[in-house]
Each structure stands twice: as C-alpha cells, then as structure tokens.
Chains A and B, each alone.
Chain A
Amino acid sequence: MSAAQHVLFDLPGPRARRRHLIGGIVGTALCLGILALALVRVAEKGQFEADKWVPFTESVTWTFYLLPGLWATMKAAAVAIVLSMVLGVVLAMMRMSDIAPLRWATSVFVEFFRAVPVLIMMIFTWVMLVKNPTLRQVSASLGVQAQDVTFVAVVTGLVLYNSSVICEVVRNGVTSLPAGQREAGLSVGLSPSQVRRLILVPQALTAMLPALLSQIVVITKDSALGYIITYPELVSRTRQLGSANANTFVAYLVVAVIFILLNWAITKAAEWIESRQRRRRRGPDPRTAPSVTMEGSAPTDSLDAPTRGA
C-alpha cells in the first residue's frame, strides 16, 4: 500500500503539508476526544479504582480462573486446528477426485458446512449429545465423559466449518499451480491420483500457507463460541472471575488483551514463516532466479508485503 499511496497522494508540497498537518491535528483531536469521553464515563463508574484491579495481582485469579480458561481455549483450538487441516486436505482430494459421485457428495458437504454458522453446529452437537438417547449411548461407548460433551461439541463445530474452508483453500492452491506441473507428473507415468497426492497438493499447501495460517486465528477466535454452550473456556472463566470480584468490566478488558496478544502472536509467526519461506523459495539471489515461480496467484511482495501487517 505504501508504494501505491505515494502515487495516490502526490508528493505533498508546502501547502499540502500544511493541510495534512491541520487534518492530522483535527483528526487526532477527534479520535482522542472520543477516547477521552469514553474513559471519563468509565472512570465515573469507578472502574479505574484500585479494588477492581487488585485481583489481577492475586495468584488465585490466574491459577483458578484465567490459566485454566486459556488452557481450555487453546486445547479446543489446537485439536480443532489439527483435525481441520487433516480433514480439509482429505476433502480437497475427494473434491478433485476422478469419481464423479464422490466429487458431488464432497461438494455438497463442503458448500453446506460453509453456509451454516459454527454456533449452530456446536449447539446441535451439544444438545444432541446430551438429549438424544441413541447419540448418548454411542458417545458413552466411545468413552466420552459427561463433562467432555461440551469440548466434543466445540471441536465438532469448529472442524466441520474450518475443514470445509481449508478444502477450498487447498483447491484454490492447486488451481493456481502452473498446468505443466500436472502434465509433467502424468507424462512420467504417475496416475492422476498420484499426481494430486505427490505433486499438486504438497505445492498447494506451501503456496497457500498464509491463508492456512490465518485460519488458525479464526479457529482460536471461534473457540470462544464455547461460552454459549457452557464449555469452560476463557470467556466463561472470565465471567466467573468477574462475578467473584465484582469487576466484570475490567476482567473482560484484561481477557480481551490476552486474546489480542495471542492472535497477534499467531499472525506475527505466520508472517515470519511466510517471509522465510519466500526467501528460501526464491533462492540465494532473487535477481538471477528463474522467472517462473510456483506461487501462482500469491502476491508479489513489493506491493503487498507492507499491507499484511494489518
């Protein structure tokens, strides 16, 4: 963006610089004014008094409420991430299969679960596991304890939706590959399914790594939906913490910061992996590297790299 911006806004002369300065001051004053107004209202209600914040220095707040909540959030997210990736790749293979009925069935599955809200799937799984006699028997015979039902429901909802999304990401990655990859594979005598498994999907996964990694943030955020089906994750624990100390407002602020830092760290890690990979793929010297890249529709770095820091 920064490159485009310079062209979008002509290099400013003295008058434009003055105008920008005035605009900057007015805009900043407006933003700070709104922020200050909000803070004053919050302070009037006594949210900045010490007794609202002291609980965060006590160890029980962390050992009993926040860390178990964070652990539950991360556990559900991690299991869902692994399962969605595996199922997503399998679905992508099936959706590109040579067997037409399999392709159709997978298409229906994927399009259906992309259209249904995650929460609806979670509530459905949860209520059915608790109320439906047949499902209760099945889950009991599989060794699902009564207190694990909400965990199973959260993971099921997340996996059904996100594996469908990942299937489409992988498929997009395969279409973005040069046709020569597939043709070369076929010409050395691999079968179409071998070509997909050995040549196309591995390349698609690396080409689509940024999209796959950003899906991790989505899964982590959506695991908070577990609050609604009483899964004891971070948002539920925070509610308990807030009512125990009568500081719900402050508690949720602190937990929002935890979530933001967690997701921000994932985003940063994704960016780091991406840049490392781009460097590695490009070889030692970018100027002499062959002009044919495997990236397909992957962005050219000069325009896009700075914006990704969103």
Chain B
Amino acid sequence: MLELIEQFNVLGAFWLNIRLAAVSFVLALVLGTVVAVLRLAPVGVLNWFGSTYVTLLRNTPLTLIIVFANLGLWAQLGLEFVPRDRPNFILENNFWLAVLGLTVYHAAFICEAIRSGVNTVPVGQAEASRSIGLTFPQSLREVILPQAFRGAITPIGNVLIALIKNTTVAVAIGNREIAYAMRNMIEFRPDAGLLIFLLVAIGFVALTLPVGLLTSWLSTRLAVKR
C-alpha cells in the first residue's frame, strides 16, 4: 500500500485538491458577497441581476461549467491564465480554468448562505436600531451585519465542505488530482480496489471533518442569544 501511495503520488494529488479548494473558496467568497449585495440592495434592477446569476449558476451542473471552461473558453475563445511558453502550460492553465468554474458555481451558493445569514436577524433588530436613532449605515454596521455574519457561518461552512468534495470534478479537464490518481491506482491494482477507495475516502473525511467541527464550534461560540 505504501509504495502504491508513493508511486501514484497520492499526497501530491490531495495537495492539488486542497489548492483548488483554497483558491476557489477565497474567490467565491468575494464574488458571492458581491452577488449577495446585489440581491439585498434596495434597487429592483440589481436584485434582478443578483437573482438571475444565482438561478442560472445553481441550476447548471458543475461538470458542464468546468468542461465548458476548458472546451469553450480556452479551446475556442483562447482564454489563457498563464503564458504559453511555460513548460507545464496545459496543466497550469487547466488548474486556473477549474478554479474559474468552481468559483462561479460556488459563488451562487455563498450568496445564498450570506442571504440566509441576513435572514436570521429578526426584523425587530432593524426596527429597534432605527428607533433609537441610528442611521442606516450605523444600524448595518453596529446591529445587523455582526449578527448576520454569525448566522452565515454554518451555511458558509457547508458550502466549503461541498467545494472541497467538488474539486474532484476538476479531473474532467485533466487536472491530476485525487480522482485521477485513484482511477490509475485501481486500474493498476484492481485486486486492492476497495482498500484504495477507503484510503481516498478517509482522506476526504480528514479534509471535511475539521471544517464541519470548526464551523459548528464557531457558530455555537459566536451564537447570538435570542
């Protein structure tokens, strides 16, 4: 088993999943917050842009988005993230195309997570802060957003867990991550298939379990007493 892990570079493959997840998560947080602001803005047109983005992206399969990034955006439109003369051009470009796909897809879910966080703030909080004379920016800064962020921790953690698992889809455009490594390992040693599967599965449990524990710890610790 150990030489199998070494031969197929299992740790390197998992490291690629972690990198994909980390970069996409940060970018999805940024994009998702922008979309959430659009959806929560008091202007009808912006609401429409925000909710259209969410409806379109949430209803498209991630596989299609990532394959489209490669076959459509790169092969047909020539979208390139790294200079062509790099020795690993294809691999590096595919990494960023996968990041692009993961980001735009999960940003829709981040937006919904933030919105559900805002929804946990009782209407009375906004009313009360207005009635004691806070202006709108003040009430947002002092009363609503601090509570909304706390309410959004658990849903955002769930999005992160889904994102970590979804990084495996990057194999569709030739990223040599763990799904790729697992397939090669089982093809090489079909008799040890179950063991290899368990190894990969435990790897994912080890990646997602801390996220779940951390978010549930944070959300109980920071919970707003009501």
Contacts and interface: CB of A to CB of B under 8 A. Distances in A.
B186 A131 contact: yes
Given A132-B190, A224-B63, A252-B71, A4 B123 contact: yes
Nearest to B192: A132
Nearest to B188: A131
A10 B38 contact: no
A176 B178 CA distance: 39
Given A119-B169, A248-B75, A252-B68, A264 B59 contact: yes
A28 B43 CA distance: 10
Given A45-B78, A224-B61, A248-B75, A256 B68 contact: yes
A242 interface: yes
Given A123-B179, A124-B193, A221 B204 contact: no
Interface in A83-119: 112, 115-119
A259 B77 contact: no
A263 interface: yes
B201 interface: yes
B201 A47 contact: no
B193 A5 contact: no
The B contact surface, by secondary structure, is helix
The A contact surface, by secondary structure, is helix
A204 interface: no
B88 interface: no
B186 A8 contact: no
A235 interface: yes
Given A12-B42, A119-B168, A132-B193, A263 B68 contact: no
Interface residues of A, number: 60
A123 B204 CA distance: 15
B142 interface: no
Contact of B204 (A120, A259, A307): A120
A31 B45 CA distance: 10
A131 B40 contact: no
B112 A310 contact: yes
A112 B197 CA distance: 12
B168 A120 contact: yes
A7 B127 contact: yes
A310 B129 CA distance: 29
Contacts of A120: 168, 178-179, 182, 197, 200-201, 204
Interface string A245-288: 00011001101100110111001000000000000000000000
A23 B204 contact: no
Nearest to B53: A31
A256 B208 contact: no
A25 B112 CA distance: 24
Given A235-B63, A264-B59, A249 B72 contact: yes
B172 A128 contact: no
B41 A45 contact: no
Nearest to A227: B63
Contact of B62 (A41, A133, A221, A239): A221
Nearest to B44: A24
Contacts of B204: 115-117, 120
Contacts of B49: 27-28, 31
B224 interface: no
Contacts of B119: 1, 4, 303, 307
A119 B171 contact: yes
B136 A132 contact: no
Contacts of B209: 115
Given A115-B209, A127-B190, A259-B64, 7 more contacts: A7-B126, A12-B42, A47-B77, A117-B179, A123-B182, A256-B64, A259-B61
- Going nearest first, the 8 A-B pairs with the smallest beta carbon separation are A224-B61, A131-B190, A263-B59, A24-B43, A117-B165, A249-B72, A224-B63, A249-B76
Interface of B: 38, 40-46, 49, 51, 54-56, 58-64, 67-68, 71-73, 75-78, 112, 115, 118-119, 121, 123, 126-127, 130, 136, 144, 165-166, 168-169, 171-172, 178-179, 182-183, 186-187, 190-191, 193-194, 197, 200-201, 204-205, 208-209
